[in-house]
Each structure stands twice: as structure tokens, then as C-alpha cells.
Structure 1
């Protein structure tokens, strides 16, 4: 696969799946726009990407839940590179809790980041993707279909994201724009530590999940990145409206 002269915008590009995806695209000569809230982390990932093929990414420090900043992201990306070929909506948050131990602030934060921001950014990027017959990949989760009493808001946001993926795929198919999602199982990224889990708690979660899934090995961010890049490539030219599960077999049990 070769992404020479392709412009790829990745939200959540400073860590986790977004960062792994950025590095993967960089090794295939993509022109990258990396978006995240942490400027220093963005610069670090951008340096890795530039070292791959000598192509300097554009970094945009922004909060995707702020409407004005979403507009700025699209304007700066297209203004810098002149077009947009691939949009990867990877930014996401998790706030644990159910009906007995949650609050509306957590719900609003999860839905604002995981769904509203994706809707808004995709809406603003659509006209540019139509011009290039580009594609969109949303980072969802197996939690979109696997109920959990511990992460209700997160699960609801990802279920909504899967339906969004299919609806937008249907709308934009006639324009030659493909839209798909990747639905990972547990991937050890900063999303759980950001949710408030200690390192010991995180390690316990990792062991419990790994031991309970059929393949009994953790899903790596690179595993998810590889599927994202595949879906963005011409090898997936006939795939749209699909949700690709990468979970070590977790949904089998």
C-alpha cells in the first residue's frame, strides 16, 4: 500500500490507536494532519512520523468538543495541504459508571467527544472528501454491541457511532466516499488511565480480559492501525458501511 500524495487527518493523534495509526500511515508516505489536546505529545508523534519518510506532519492542538476548534481543524488542514483524502475519527474518552454511580457531566463529556465531535467534524469535512472521493474511518468499540453495566455512557456512544457510520456510508456512497468503522476489544491505551484507573487496576483489567478471551493475548494499537490503513486503501475499494471487529475473539464468549 502506498499513500503518496494522500492527506490523512487523524483526531486523537497524540496517543493510543490514533498515534499508532499516524505512524503506520507515515511509513506509507502519507501527508498527515495530527489533532490532539496535548501539544508536546503531538510533537513527539509528529517527529516519529517525519523520521519515517521525511514528510513533516501538520499538528493542530485542539479540543474536538469545541465547535470553533473543529472548524479550525478542517480549515487549517485543507489550507495547508490543499485537500483531504482520509478522515480518521479516533479521539475518544471513557467515563465509568451506570445508573447508580454516574452523573450527567460524565455522560455529556462522553457523548460530546465520542459522538457529537465525530458528527461535527465529519459534516465539515464531507465536501472536501467528496472532491477527492476519499474515505472515513471511525474508531468504535465492541462495546457498541456488548452490554456493560460499568460503562453505560461509553457503550451508548459507540452504538450511536456504529449507526452513524452506516448512515453516512449510505448517504455518501453515490459520491464515491466510503465510510467504515473499526471496533476493537480491549486495547491498553491511555483511555483507561485517563478515566481514573491506577496502574495496578489497569494491570488487573488487562489480565482479566486477556485471560477470558479465546486468543488469550492483548489486542495491540498496531493491530487496529493496520486495519484502519487497510480500510483507507484501494484494497478496500468495495467496502463501505462495515464495522470491523478486532477483539481476540471476545465477542465469541
Structure 2
């Protein structure tokens, strides 16, 4: 790496949504290791302060916390404005905020379904609306959205999350087309498979148990490396998981086989062996005590 490239990294101004937990938190730490100035966004101030401490210890030049829900467009705009006011520009945005729910379409509460879908689609819309005018004014910038394998396939009992992620990817692809006149403004999507984050234990569920990332399970740090890499190497959609292309091929090319197998396999590999009453999890409010970079699952 040249001295100029090193200097560019240490001057990076990076905003991360969903920075209190999982892939967002892991991504923030990896940008901190590059010496970036960070603005961390999530709903829980308590968890954000913990993430900020990790980022400072990792080498961040500066860290600010902005508690906000991505469903609040004004709050998202305020976080972007704070980054620009503090540093004069915004170089990178990582949008990782998401919530999840388990339950059939017939059993899931309508308000839970709507909130999961809205967080994925409206939340991403609010991020785009706040960030893209700044990038357009700068004529440069990188925005990386953490998508999912479930933006390309579906699974039973995850209809809310499937719907949200499919809609989010449609929004991403539309924006990528609309930005073709700005060659130095990039919007990328990274789609991980099962990842060892706390989201499975934080999800809403009416199944009587919590979720489990299906194998192969990846660490959030591994996915975060794919997120950070998109700054230098933008992609329309980068699958982060060696099994993802095979699963997508089965879904598209052999739908009867896929449909016959996905339910039984999910019951064996996608649900935890626990027992919990119906819960809305963190869908409507954060659960700080369950937020961390990693969940209790072994990842590679």
C-alpha cells in the first residue's frame, strides 16, 4: 500500500447504521483499525457507547454516537448532517440496521410483519435519501448495504424478513441504475449467509423457539471484511458465503426440489433447541443486553 493510500484510509469519514451489534459493529471496528473517523448509529445509546469504546481501542481517529432508528427519516438525516458538519464530508456509509421475525404468514402478528418489512425497505430508503444528496454534492462516496442470502431465496417461517430483503434489494438495484451519471459514487450490496450474530436470539418468534444460523455459519468479522472491501472494489451484489451460489441455483433451477427440502432442513439446522414464549424480540425496541458483535454460535 502506498503512503497516499494509507493517508486516504486514515482520513476516512464513515457512518455505520446498525453499529451496536453483529455485522454493523464488526464493520465499524474494522474501519476503526484503518484509522477512520466514525459516526455510529443504532437505537440503543448504551450499546453504541460499548461499540464506540471498542472502535477507539481499535484505532479510530474519532468516534461519535448518534442514537437513531432508521425508520425515523429526520433522525437519519441528523446523523448524516452531524458527520458532515464535524468533518466536512462523508466518505463511506455502511447500512446494516435490520430486525427479524420467525412465524408463518398466518401466525405472525401484522404489526410485527410490517415493522420487519418497513425496517428493511423504508429504513434503507431513509438512508438513501439522507446520504445520496451529500454524495452527489461531493461527486464521490461509497454506500454499502448489508443484504442477505434471503434477498435471493425464500424460506418458510421467515416471510417478513424474506419480503423485506427482496424489497430492499430491488431498491438498491434501482438506485444503482439512477447513479450511473456519477462514476465515483458507488452503492454496493453484500449478502451473507448464516452468520454468528445475536440477531437470531433477538428476533421476534411465535414458533416456541428462537432461531439458529443455518450452516455454513460465518463470523461477523468475515462478513465485515467483505463489507470493507467494497469501498475499493464496489459490486452490485456480492455474495458473502461459499454456499450461497449453490443455494440460489437450487432455488432458481430446481424449485420443486428446493421447496421440498427447505422446510425440513430449516427445522433441523435453522432453529435453536430451546423453548421460549411468543415474543416481539427487538422488533419494536432494542434489547441492549443481547447486543454484541458475535452470537453464541461457532462461525468460520
1:71-95 Cα distance to aligned partner (Å, 9 max, x none)? 2222222122221111111000001
CA RMSD of aligned residues (A): 2.1
Q: How many residues align?
A: 238
Is the 1:142–1:251 Cα contact (8 Å) retained in structure 2?
no
Distance 1:35 1:54 in 2: 16
Pair 230,70 (structure 1): closer, same or farther in 2 beyond 3 Å: same
Which one has a bigger Cα radius of gyration?
2
TM-score by length of 1: 0.87
1:113 to 116, 119, 134: 119
What does residue 188 of structure 1 align with?
196
3-state SS, counterpart of residue 181 of structure 2: helix
Matches of 2:29 and 2:163, distance apart in 1: 30
Partner of 2:53: 47
SS of aligned partner of 1:8: strand
In the alignment, is the contact (CA less than 8 A) between 1:49 and 1:55 conserved in 2? no
- Name the CA distance, whole Å, in 1 between partners of 2:49 and 2:77: 21
The residue that corresponds to 1:213 in the other structure is none
Q: Runs (4+) of structure 1 moved beyond 4 Å?
A: none
CA distance in 1 between partners of 2:101 and 2:17 (Å):
19
Q: Is the 8 A contact 2:145 2:190 kept in 1?
A: yes
Secondary structure of 1:119's aligned partner = helix
CA distance in 2, matches of 1:69, 1:112: 16
SS in 2 for 1:57: strand
1:245 aligned onto 2:252: no
* 1:12–1:92 CA contact under 8 A, matched in 2: yes
Q: TM-score, normalised by structure 2?
A: 0.74
Deviation at 1:173, TM superposition (A): 2.5
Deviation at 1:16, TM superposition (A): 0.3
SS in structure 2 at match of 1:187: coil
Structure 1, unaligned runs of 5 or more: 211-216
CA distance in 2, matches of 1:218, 1:99: 26
Q: Which has the higher helix share?
A: 1
Matched, 1:162 2:164: no
